[in-house]
Amino acid sequence: MSSSIPKHNFSVTMLSHILPILSLMPLSVLAHSSTCAGKPTASQLQHPICLGPPGVYVVESSQGKGLGVFAAHDLDVGDIVMREAPILKIQFPRVSKGGVYPTAAVSRLVHDEFESLSSSEQEEVLSLTYYTKGANTTEVDKLATIFRTNAYNTGDKVGLFPKIARINHSCRPNTGYSWSERLNKRVVFATRKIKAGEEFFVSYISLAMPQEDRQKHLDKYGFKCQCDACAQERVAREASDNRRTTIRNAFAKFEHRLIITPPESKAGKREALNNAQVSVQLAQLVQEEGLADYYAKAYRIVAITHGRVEDWQSAATWANKAYEIRYMEDPDSSLTNEMAQLTGLYIANWENQLRSAAASA
């Protein structure tokens, strides 16, 4: 069984004679979350190795990283690596602004949820890696520390996903992930072509910052990142840092300037044209850095800025690119729906523009 992204319908015949903007990629929906068969042995708890959904992944030793998750066969962009429901999920206690993090309260919630698990599920949770900086391990609440080290934000709650937790970090990851409220599962999917035997990587932190800042954020996980981006020679690393800083600043700049309607004043039109040009440079930088987590965000910016200068062909093209990625993340999300509507709007404007041009020819 397979699925593909639904295509937008074109109502004007002449559109078939210009650049095809909807070269939509097929998506595999075969993979799903699975568990190792049977109760794991003591040996498996120390070195748990099990096959993933229909042979998509295998968990095994990763040099210098403990365990990792590896591709069992070639994957294409958009192929699902795994879907996993949270084995533990809690609602964090509310804290007033500037309040102290309620560590004890969170620990109690985690322990309460843990008690409801089966013995095999408890063993799976306790087999996960955790890190305690400078603490006496005999005094550490192991379960709560495992949760804090491995949990992800899950809608308005925080959840622990034992299999996804095995995926190691990279500052240039080859997979993305999203939370599906409808499925009650976190979904991991390939963001580029991945070869059999290649290790899967996700990002544990925000990537739009220099290498030194990324390392500081990763300290809480107890490792120094040695991914391709961090292990570059100094000159290349500094160039990468500059690109990521520029990306972060550009996102901040555009955050409050994404207005759909075109400007009316000459000054507004000049600014809109400049923003459209800068937005393309932003998308190019994101692509150059391989920051797939930011592709949809960048493409949405390019689409909106080109819509403001009434370049409907470019606006529709970039909106559809963002739609493709949002669909891979979650076909039913509000973000996917937004980009589908935006693509439709820009296509309709493009059609009207072509009709007017044909009528005046």
pLDDT at position 9 is 43
**CA 191, 197, 202: angle at the middle one, nearest 5?**
35
In terms of Cβ atoms closer than 10 Å to its own Cβ (0-12, 13-18, 19+), residue 282 is buried
CA 196 centroid distance within chain:
21
Question: Which residues, including other chains, have CB under 8 Å from residue 232's CB and lie 6 or more apart?
Answer: 240
Strand order in the sheet with 88-90: 88-90, 157-160, 152-154
Distance CA 341, CA 318 (A): 13
Going along the chain from its start, the domains and CATH numbers come out as 2-23+257-360 (no CATH), 28-221 (2.170.270.10)
Q: Tell me what the pLDDT averaged over the chain comes to.
A: 84
Q: Do residues 251 and 243 touch, judged by C-beta distance below 8 A?
A: no
pLDDT at position 190 is 94
Distance CA 312, CA 351 (A): 9
Stretch 103-120: mean pLDDT, rounded?
93
Residue 38: helix, strand or coil by DSSP? coil
How confident is the model over 50-100, as pLDDT tens digits? Answer: 444 558 999 999 988 889 999 999 999 999 999 999 999 999 877 667 666
Distance CA 104, CA 342 (A): 46
Number of H helices, E strands in the chain: 10, 12
How confident is the model over 21-42, as pLDDT tens digits? Answer: 343 333 332 233 333 444 344 4
Q: How far is CA 189 from CA 149, 300, 338, in A?
A: 22, 20, 21
Stretch 157-178: mean pLDDT, rounded?
94
Check whether 251 has a pLDDT greater than 50.
Answer: yes
Check whether 121 has a pLDDT greater than 90.
Answer: yes
